[in-house]
Structure 1
């Protein structure tokens, strides 16, 4: 393994791979929205993209830092990647739902209502209350904050696991 003469920082790697991973996630989201498949199981492909981006970023960091990466550096890189991906996804989703295709919110709420009715166990009033509450979360700054927070939270959990496998700490007494 040939090491680079100038090590890279965790921040630069996290930002670079966060932007690349975020761009891929936005493209996938656009495809799902455009095909009206935003509620299909294919939406979980974004998690695989996020995991792949973290693995590639941590390997790049380790290769360019003499083969070493601590657990904390890996978690930091992964969390930064998920924050950048979350920010890009939140901004894209906001613009898509409010400017490009405002009907997507209606399609999503109709599907949620149909799912609640099919499951049973809820009265019409309870379903109406749940729909009113979810409508508040699908518009505006609350939606952006929720997307960003959930992206960072799940990204942190994924980063903990990925970093545990990829880390290679420097020996303490060398």
Structure 2
């Protein structure tokens, strides 16, 4: 059996681009339907993201690495895929809210103020101004870019650690000796 070995970086780049494109499509769909502020939809998207990463790990392990993947390879793969797709999604979202539909920022601010009133009841004007400024930055182009990239790093690191531990499959020393014998 010939073991096809591809570069981890190439695999990460390919799937990072795919997941970035999926993120763009989902972002546009959520913005167009005004579901981008729905928490249940957000949780669903996290589950979809985890599912897609599981598929990436399985594909790398089975098709491109002879059925094996070390914990370190899995962690690097997951983190790189998340960073690449996260940067793509963050750049797109920043461009979208800056040029295509700036009303997203105001919708986010209005939603945040409404939620603050639900939790706090009556609020002083200063508190409302703080919420407006904070969420205006967070939802704006610069905030979207920064938060998107930082979130991709943090989420990527955490989920990559977990999934790498689940999907790792290292060769036993007996498997390695058989491969060595076949190579001779």
Aligned to 1:90: 90
Deviation at 1:172, TM superposition (A): 5.1
CA–CA separation in structure 2 for the residues paired with 1:82 and 1:42: 19
Instruction: Tell me what 1:125 maps to.
Output: 126
After superposition, the Cα gap between the structure-2 partners of 1:4 and 1:143, relative to the gap in structure 1 and judged at 3 Å, is farther
1:17 aligns with 2:15: yes
Match of 1:57 in 2: 56
Between structure 1 and structure 2, the one with the greater Rg is 2
TM-score, normalised with respect to structure 1: 0.89
Cα distance in structure 2, aligned partners of 1:92 and 1:43: 18
Give the structure 1 partner of residue 24 of structure 2: 26
C-alpha separation in 2, matches of 1:46 and 1:142: 20
Find the aligned partners of 1:50 and 1:80 in 2 and give their Cα distance.
14
Query: Greater helix percent: which structure?
Result: 2
Contact 1:54–1:77, Cα closer than 8 Å, also in 2:
no
Once the two structures are overlaid, the 10-residue window that deviates more, 119-128 or 80-89, is 119-128
For residues 147 and 100 of structure 1, do their structure 2 counterparts lie closer, same or farther at Cα, with a shift above 3 Å needed? same
| Aligned CA-pair RMSD | 1.8
Deviation at 1:14, TM superposition (A): 1.1
Aligned residue-pair number: 172
Q: Does 1:36 align with 2:37?
A: no
Distance in 1, matches of 2:112 and 2:2, equals 52
Moved over 6 A (4+): none
Matches within 5 A, 1:63-102: 63=62, 64-102=64-102
Deviates more, 1:74-83 or 1:41-50: 41-50
Change in CA separation of 1:107 and 1:25 when aligned onto 2, cut-off 3 Å: same
Shift of 1:59: 1.2
Superposed displacement of residue 139, structure 1? 2.5
| 1:9 CA displacement | 1.6
Structure 1 residue runs without a partner (length 5+): none
Structure 1, residues 116-155: CA drift from partner, whole Å, max 9, x if none?
Answer: 0111164331221132122223323343121111112112
